[in-house]
Amino acid sequence: MSQFLKLGFLASRNGSSARAILGAIEAGSLNAEPRLVVSNNRTAPVLEFAAARAVPTLCIPTQSDPEAADGALRDALQAAGVELVVLSGYLRQLGPQTLARYRGRVLNIHPGPLPDFGGHGMYGRRVHEAVIAAGVAESGACIHLVDEEYDRGPVVARRAVEVRPDDTAETLEARVTALEPGFFVETLQRIADGRLKLPA
């Protein structure tokens, strides 16, 4: 039995996964409702993208008072009726108030195998550089639940990408980045359909 997911999005810049998910909702290929897009950056292009689609947006700066920002974020998501939070390049660690309210209901996508290639400072090209340096045969994207530690929450879906002998960090990054948005949409639809159950 499919349900409509009530989604909130957190993004610091372009929010490529958020854009793909909003596009899939618009096209009718994802059973979800976008309730709110939040950024910690006033000039994040994702805010304009969402507003053009009549999705409510909000900027909550986090640097000057992280504790107050955490409470404001929790309250804003709750007031918008958000049930599942999607991180789309959100470059801040979530605070305890938001995590307590949405425990087990915050999803992030990581551009490499977890837990081996995650942790503080492991994002973007650094992940692909580490994968190449380790000489592993396979990389890929992991969608995982977010908790208090960077990239340590349970993985709920994986999509493998072969590491080719001639790969550089740039070429591997390009292939992983290309699959991430569609993989996120597909995973959310599996959750909506009940084919993928998040841990209780």
Q: What is the pLDDT at residue 2?
A: 66
CB 69 within 8 A of CB 44: no
Q: Which of 110, 120, 128, 144 is catalytic?
A: 110
Domain 5-193 architecture = 3-Layer(aba) Sandwich (3.40)
CA 150 to chain centre: 13
Q: Inform me whether the pLDDT recorded for 1 exceeds 60.
A: no
Question: Strands 84-87, 106-110: parallel, antiparallel or unpaired by DSSP?
Answer: parallel
Beta-strand ranges (E) seen in 60-185 are 84-87, 106-110, 138-145, 155-162
Q: Which of 182, 169, 85 is nearest to 133 (CA)?
A: 169
Q: What is the mean pLDDT of residues 95-99?
A: 97
110 is catalytic: yes
Q: What is the pLDDT at residue 90?
A: 94
The predicted model scores a pTM of 0.95
Identify the band that residue 108 occupies on the pLDDT scale cut at 50, 70 and 90.
very high
Q: Inform me whether the pLDDT recorded for 168 exceeds 80.
A: yes
Q: What is the pLDDT at residue 150?
A: 87
Q: Which of 88, 96, 91 is nearest to 8 (CA)?
A: 88
Q: What is the mean pLDDT of residues 114-134?
A: 95
Beta-strand ranges (E) seen in 40-150 are 57-59, 84-87, 106-110, 138-145
Identify the band that residue 111 occupies on the pLDDT scale cut at 50, 70 and 90.
very high
Domains in the chain: boundaries: 5-193
What is the distance between the alpha carbons of residues 10 and 38, in angstroms, rounded to a whole number?
5
- Cα-based distances in Å from 194 to 63, 145, 190: 38, 17, 6
3-state SS class at 20? helix
Q: Inform me whether the pLDDT recorded for 105 exceeds 70.
A: yes
CB 40 within 8 A of CB 61: yes
Q: Inform me whether the pLDDT recorded for 200 exceeds 90.
A: no
For 169-194, how does the pLDDT look when each residue is reduced to its tens digit (9 = 90+)?
999 999 999 999 999 999 999 999 99
Q: What share of the chain is helix, strand, coil (3-state, %, to 5)?
A: 35, 20, 40
